[in-house]
Amino acid sequence: KDRSTIDVLLKDSAVRDAQGNILHSRSIWRDVTERKQAEEQLEKARDDYRAITNLTGDIIVRVDAEGRWTFLNDGACEFWGRPREGLIGIRFADYLHPDDQQETMAAVEEVMSGKSVVGLVNRQKTPQGWRIVQWNAAPIFENGRYMGFQATGRDITERKQAEEALGKSEEKYRSLVKNVKLGIFRSTPEPFGKFLEVNPAMEGITGYSRDELLRMSVSDLYVRPEEREAVLEEVATVVEKATRELNFRKKDGTEIVVSDTKVAVRDDTGKVLYFDGIIEDITERKQAEAERWELEQRAQLASRLSTVGEMASGIAHEINNPLTAVIGFAQLLVRKDIPEDIKEEAKIINDSAQRVASIVKRLLAFARQQKLERVYADINDIIESTLGMRAYAMATSNIQVVTHLDPNLPRTMAAASQMQQVFLNIIVNAETEMKLAHGRGKLLVRTETVDNIIRISFKDDGPGIAKENLGRIFDPFFTTRKVGEGTGLGLSICHAIVVEHNGQLHVKSKLGKGAIFIVELPIIAEEKQLGLPEPAPDDSIKIGRAKILVVDDEPATLELLSQILTAEGHEVQTTEKATDALKRIKSERYSLILLDIKLPGMSGVELYQSIEKIA
C-alpha cells in the first residue's frame, strides 16, 4: 500500500479434480525481508572480517573443537604456501614440529578450559622449511559449549635468529673492542671532558697509555682545544651521531688527522649522560687524497693549457700569413728609390711588423710549436741575473731578498731566456702582492738538489692564496687583480715553459701565510761536445734564368714572391690551387716549384706526392 518493496517467499501448488485437471492454484506468501537483510548483513560482516584479517601481515586462523582449520586469512595461506581450500578441514597439528607437539597440546587444553594463551612459540612446517611462530589464542564458546579457538600468529624466525646472533656477538664484543684497530672510547660531556673508558687502539693512535688517557682531558689531544667546544655543540644538537675530521697531537708531538664519530647517550629527559665515540687515524689517507687532488689539478691544468696552446698556434699561423706579405713588401719599398720620408715610413711599417712577428714567435713557443734553443745552463746564474734586474725596484719597495743558492748545484739543459722569464714572473708577482699587503716584505729564494731534481723555491710573506684559487692559479686568463692590472697569462705561460722542460711548477699557500712557488727541473748530465765537421765544398750551381712555379693560397704572398723572383731575372708563374698547379706541371717543365703545405682542397703534401709519381 505504501509502495515500499519487500522480499517474499512464494510457494505455489495446483488444485485438481478427480480426473487430474487443474482447477486452480493455491499460493502461500511469506514476508522474508527481515531474514534477507539479516543474511546480507551477516555476509557483509564476514567480508569485513576477512578484509580486516587480510590487512595485517600476521597469521589468523580458526580451529574447531576437533582441531581442524575452519578459517585462514590470506597471510596464513601465504605462510603455509597452499590455497585456502587446500587447508580448510586439515588438522593444525599436522604442521607442528614433532618436538613442539606436547607443549602446544597443553596450551590447547588451557584454551578449552576457557583461558587465553599468550606468547606460545612453536615451529611450523612450510615450503621454506621450519619457521618459528609466536601465537596468541582465545577460546570460542556458543551457549556455554566449546566450539574451538581463534589464534593469531607472527613469524619470528628472523627475530629469533637475530637474538641468537646477538647473543653470540655479545660474547665476541669484548674481544672485538680489544683487538679492533679503531679507537673506541667513552667520555664525559663537560667542555674539557674526561675519558671513562678506552680500548687498546686508542693507546696506539694517541701514543698515551690507558692509565694516562683516563687521567687526562679529552681536549688535551686537540691541536686547537677551542675545537672541542664546536664539537660539543654539534653533538648536543644531533639526534643520532656526528662525524668530523679533527687534528690531534700525539704524545710525541706528532700531529695527526682523525675521523671522530660521536653519539650522545641521553637519559629519559634528554640530558646527555656521556659520549660514545670511534676514532680512526686517517693521516695517510688525507695525504694520499691531497696528492691525488694535486695530480688531478695538474692534469686538468695541462689539458686546459693544451687547449689554449692549440688556439694560440692557430692564431699565430693565421697572423703569420698576411704578416709575411707586410714585412716583405715593406722591405721591398725600403730598397726602392723613393723619397726619404716614404722610405722612413716603410721602415716604421717593417719594424712594427717585426714586433708583431716577435709576438707571434712567443705565441708559438707557448703553443709548443717552436722549441727555443737550449744549452747547459747554470740555474744559479740565471736567478742572480734575474734578481739583479729587480734589485733596485725591490730595494725601493722595502722588500728584503734572501738567497740560499746551492754552490754545488749541477748544470742542466734549459732555455736560459725562458727560465729567466719564469723566474722574473714569479718574483714580480711576489713583489706586487707583498707591496699591496703591507708595503714591505721578505723574499727567500732557495736552490737545492733533491733526488736528481733541481728545486728552485720562491717564498714570500705576502697575503697568501685562498684555497679556492689554488686549483686555478695556473689557468690561462685567471687573475685576482682588478681589470687592467693583469692579463692572467703570466703564470700559465710559466707553467707551460716548465712543463716543456719536463719539469713541474706548483704552489703551496695558506691565506694570510704567504706563498711558496716551487720550480722543479730534471738534471740532464752534460755530454761530451762533438767536434764540428769540416764545411762541405759548395757544389751548388748558379742558375741564370729559371722557370719557377709558386703555389700558395695567399694572394699577397704570391705577389711578393713573384716580384722578388722576377726582379732576380726569373720567369714566375703563380696559382692558388694545387689542382691547377698539377695540370700545369703535367704540360710544362719547371726549374723550381715553391708550394705551401696547407692548401684548400688538395694539400701541398698531396701535390708533392703527385709530382713524385709524374717524375
At 46, the pLDDT band (50, 70, 90 cuts) reads: low
The terminus-to-terminus CA distance of the chain in angstroms comes to 126
Contact 590, 608 (CB under 8 A): no
In this structure, of 133-142, 225-234, 239-248, 479-488, the range with the lowest mean pLDDT score is 479-488
pLDDT tens digits for 181-210? 888 888 888 777 889 989 899 999 999 999
- Residue 445 confidence (pLDDT): 95
How far is residue 261's CA from residue 184's CA, in Å, rounded to a whole number? Answer: 10
Q: Does residue 369 carry a pLDDT above 50? A: no
- pLDDT, mean of residues 471-495: 68
pLDDT above 90 covers a percentage of the chain that reads 30
Whether 362 has a pLDDT exceeding 70, the answer reads no
pLDDT digits (tens, 9 = 90+) for 135-180: 999 999 988 899 999 999 999 998 888 888 877 776 666 666 677 7
Residue written as grid cell 695558506: 510
Question: Which of these ranges, 216-220, 308-312, 413-417, has the smallest mean pLDDT?
Answer: 308-312
Q: From CA 85, how far away is CA 77, in angstroms rounded? A: 9
The region that residue 478 occupies, defined by phi over 0 for left and psi between -120 and 50 for alpha, beta otherwise, is: beta
Please report the domains of the chain, with CATH numbers, ordered by start residue. 180-281 (3.30.450.20), 287-366 (1.10.287.130), 375-522 (3.30.565.10), 547-614 (3.40.50.2300)
Note the helical H segments in 197-239.
200-206, 210-215, 227-237
With cut-offs at 50, 70 and 90, classify the pLDDT of residue 87: very high
Q: What are 184's strand-pairing partners?
A: 278
Mean pLDDT, residues 13-39? 73
Whether the Cβ atoms of residue 264 and residue 189 lie closer than 8 Å to each other: yes
User: Would you say residue 529 has pLDDT above 50?
Assistant: no
Beta strands in 127-240 (DSSP E): 129-142, 145-155, 183-187, 195-198
Task: State the pLDDT confidence band at 93, using cuts at 50, 70 and 90.
Answer: very high
pLDDT score recorded for residue 484: 47
Q: What is the CA radius of gyration of the chain?
A: 49
Max avg pLDDT among 90-99, 264-273, 462-471? 90-99
The per-residue pLDDT for range 549-601, each reduced to its tens digit, is: 999 988 888 898 888 889 888 999 999 999 998 999 988 999 899 988 888 88
CB < 8 Å & 24+ apart, contacts of 364-370: 364/312, 364/313, 364/316, 365/418, 366/308, 366/309, 366/312, 366/493, 366/496, 367/309, 367/310, 367/312, 367/313, 367/316, 368/309, 368/496, 368/500, 369/313, 369/316
- pLDDT category at 444 given cuts 50, 70, 90 is very high
Greater pLDDT, 292 or 49: 292
DSSP assignment of 423-441 equals HHHHHHHHHHHHHHHHS-E
Instruction: Calculate the average pLDDT of the chain.
Output: 82
d(CA 215, CA 218): 10
Please state, in angstroms and rounded to a whole number, the distance separating the CA atoms of residues 331 and 523.
Answer: 44
Look at residue 53 in the predicted model and tell me its pLDDT: 57
Range with the poorest average pLDDT among 179-183, 250-254, 361-365, 534-538: 534-538
